[in-house]
């Protein structure tokens, strides 16, 4: 039989391809899936099937389950400051699809999509796939920088993560939010708001979403269940200005019709019966404890190497290297011991930032977090001794294929 090579093209983007044992890796982006109330979900799923029977096995609507759209609209109006009704909601297979479908519905090939730099790499890939000209925009203390140089094409769509800029963690200021909406209106563009984890704000409620501030129908709001529930569910949604709903639903119908009807109906029940809110509440508490523990242990064990940046929201933290000269050593250690924070440079297009690593903390217990950080600290110590004897320089290829020296 022909042997399948380990290193196939695109493997670096296959998030489920790794055969690595499920242990502590401190990789960014993973929620605590082992805390998901599986028994409740299964019970609701059985009830939904018993009630709706074979109806759920037929094709569903390409806008999504009506009960689910109603439940999501109510949640967003009550808890995210959105202003919407269920007819504006189109259920998606997660954020990545929401971005791709928005781009396909709005952009002609070659038109510009402004994206944050550094930013969500899957957004960049989706816009490129849709034929957009991707224009990276820097981030300052208030969020995406929107002043336009005459050399840059004006955007048709502006992709942002206002509650928690990915990956830097900046919360977009109120001033920048209103400026962004005004800018979109003036340039006949749309803002695509990725609100991927505003539920996990640790110092009081998050700022209301951009969509709720928008009086000129310029904001498309996108949410995902990947962080709140679990990523393999592949469910998310768009809240679109009314004039865009038809085009978005049309693209979805060409792409794959709709998301699985049984999961959608189960999620509708999960929300309307109060399990969603109680899960969010419980996870916020759990993540707050893990975050506090991570910060304390990190500073105890690795303060010599990093300065930890601590935003109010989110399930990852950026750690800036104190000495740039340590970068290659750290990248090497990371690959060897399986503690795999992402390189910040992986998320950069033009941005030239100081070397830093992005650590996840949410998916592991305090004992596992300590284990991972001790492993990293000891490996760094051991490496320093080796380097003192025979100095080497390393070249490290990031998962994106960029070469870091």
Ligand X SMILES: Cc1ncc(COP(=O)(O)O)c(C=O)c1O
Q: Compare residues 161 and 261 and give the one whose CB is closer to ligand X.
A: 161
* 236 is a site residue for ligand X (CB under 6 A): yes
| Smaller CB separation from ligand X, 116 or 214 | 116
Instruction: Report in angstroms how near the CB of residue 212 gets to ligand X at its nearest.
Output: 19
> H/E/C letters for each residue in 251-290?
HHHHHCCCCCHHHHHHHHHHHHCCHHHHHHHHHHHHHHHH
**Coil, strand or helix at 357:** strand
Q: In terms of CB distance, is 120 or 276 closer to ligand X?
A: 120
Shortest Å distance, C-beta 324 to ligand X:
26
- Report CA 255 to chain centroid distance, whole Å: 22
Smallest gap from residue 252 Cβ to ligand X (A):
15
Beta strand 155-160 pairing with 112-116: parallel
Q: How many amino acids of this chain bind ligand X (CB under 6 A)?
A: 13
Q: Which stretch binds ligand X (CB under 6 A): 89-97, 204-212, 278-286, 347-355?
A: 89-97
Q: Classify residue 176 as exposed, middle or buried by CB count within 10 Å of its CB (0-12, 13-18, 19+).
A: buried
Assess 94 for contact with ligand X (CB under 6 A): yes
Residue in 24, 26, 29, 176 binding ligand X, rule: CB under 6 A: 29
Cα–Cα distance measured from residue 315 to residue 290, given in angstroms and rounded to the nearest whole number? 10
Please report the DSSP string for 128-162 in residue order: HHTT-EEEEE-EETTEE--PPPTTSPPEEEEEE--
Among residues 114, 166, 237, 270, the one that binds ligand X under rule CB under 6 A? 166
Least distance to ligand X, CB of residue 194, Å: 5
Cα–Cα distance between 209 and 163 in angstroms, integer? 7
Segment interacting with ligand X, rule: CB under 6 A, options 43-51, 92-100, 125-133, 269-277: 92-100
CA atoms within 13 A on the CB side of 188: 4
The distance of closest approach from Cβ of residue 5 to ligand X in the complex, given in angstroms and rounded to an integer, is 27
Which segment (91-99, 109-117, 237-245, 265-273) binds ligand X by CB under 6 A? 91-99
Both structure tokens of 363: 């998916």
Q: Which CB sits closer to ligand X, 97 or 261?
A: 97
Parallel, antiparallel or unpaired: strands 236-239 and 306-309 = unpaired
List C-alpha distances in Å: 249 to 120, 195, 214. Answer: 24, 20, 22
Q: How many CA atoms lie within 13 A of 176 on its CB side?
A: 19
Interface residue with ligand X, options 41, 120, 127, 230 (CB under 6 A): 120
Contact flags string 255-294 toward ligand X, x per CB under 6 A: ----------------------------------------
CB of 48 or CB of 123, closer to ligand X: 123
CB of 174 to ligand X, least distance (A): 21
The CA distance from 168 to 313, in Å, is 11
Per CB under 6 A, contacts with ligand X among 202-231 are 224, 226, 231
Which CB sits closer to ligand X, 266 or 326? Answer: 266
Question: Please, what is the angle between helix 66-79 and helix 261-272, to 10°?
Answer: 40
Report how far apart the first and last C-alpha atoms of the chain are (Å, whole number): 39
> Is 47 or 136 the residue whose CB approaches ligand X more closely?
136
Q: Smallest gap, in angstroms, from Cβ of residue 291 to ligand X? A: 17
Based on the shown chain and the rule CB under 6 A, indicate whether residue 96 belongs to the binding site for ligand X.
yes
Pairing of strands 143-144, 155-160: unpaired
> What is the nearest approach in angstroms of ligand X to the Cβ of residue 257?
18
Q: What is the helix (H) or strand (E) element at residue 317, kind and residue range? A: strand 316-321
**Residue 166 or 183 having the CB closest to ligand X:** 166
Nearer to ligand X, 94 or 341 (CB): 94
Q: Which is nearer to ligand X, 231 or 380 (CB)?
A: 231
Residue closer to ligand X, measured from CB, 15 or 397: 15
Contact status: 196 vs ligand X (CB under 6 A): yes
Tell whether residue 95 is a contact of ligand X (CB under 6 A). yes
Q: Which residues contact residue 314 at a Cβ distance below 8 angstroms, ignoring those fewer than 6 apart?
A: 164, 169, 197, 200
Binding site for ligand X (CB under 6 A): 29, 94-96, 120, 161, 166, 194, 196, 224, 226, 231, 236
């Amino acid at each position: 039989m022909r042997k399948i090579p380990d290193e196939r093209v695109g493997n670096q983007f296959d998030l489920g391809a790794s055969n690595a044992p499920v242990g502590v890796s401190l990789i960014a982006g993973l929620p605590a899936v082992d805390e998901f109330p599986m028994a409740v979900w299964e019970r609701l799923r059985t009830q939904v099937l018993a009630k709706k029977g074979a109806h759920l096995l037929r094709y569903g609507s390409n806008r999504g389950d009506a009960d689910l759209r109603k439940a999501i609209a109510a949640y967003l109006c009550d808890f995210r400051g959105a202003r919407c009704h269920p007819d504006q909601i189109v259920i998606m297979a997660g954020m990545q699809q929401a971005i791709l479908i928005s781009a396909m519905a709005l952009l002609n090939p070659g038109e510009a999509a402004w994206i944050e730099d550094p930013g969500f790499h899957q957004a960049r890939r989706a816009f490129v796939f849709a034929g957009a000209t991707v224009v990276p925009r820097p981030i300052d203390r208030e969020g995406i920088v929107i002043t336009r140089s005459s050399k840059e094409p004006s955007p048709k769509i502006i992709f942002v993560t206002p509650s928690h800029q990915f990956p830097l963690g900046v919360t977009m200021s109120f001033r920048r939010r209103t400026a962004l909406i005004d800018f979109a209106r003036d340039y006949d563009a749309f803002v695509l708001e990725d609100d991927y984890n505003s539920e996990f704000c640790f110092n009081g409620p998050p700022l209301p979403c951009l969509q709720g501030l928008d009086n000129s129908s310029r904001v498309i709001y996108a949410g995902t269940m990947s962080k709140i529930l679990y990523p393999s569910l592949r469910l998310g949604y768009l809240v679109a200005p009314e004039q865009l709903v038809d085009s978005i639903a049309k693209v979805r119908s060409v792409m794959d019709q709709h998301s699985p009807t049984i999961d959608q109906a189960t999620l509708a029940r999960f929300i309307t019966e109060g399990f969603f809110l109680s899960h969010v509440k419980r996870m916020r508490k759990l993540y707050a404890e893990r975050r506090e523990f991570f910060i304390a242990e990190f500073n105890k064990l690795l303060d010599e190497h990093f300065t930890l940046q601590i935003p109010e929201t989110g399930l990852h933290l950026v750690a800036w290297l104190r000495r740039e000269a340590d970068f290659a050593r750290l990248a090497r250690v990371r690959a060897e011991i399986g503690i795999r924070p992402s390189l910040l440079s992986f998320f950069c297009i033009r941005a030239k930032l100081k070397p830093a690593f992005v650590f996840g903390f949410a998916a592991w217990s305090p004992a596992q977090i300590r284990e991972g950080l001790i492993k990293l600290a000891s490996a760094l110590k051991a490496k320093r001794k080796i380097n003192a004897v025979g100095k080497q320089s390393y070249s490290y290829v990031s998962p994106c294929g960029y070469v870091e020296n």
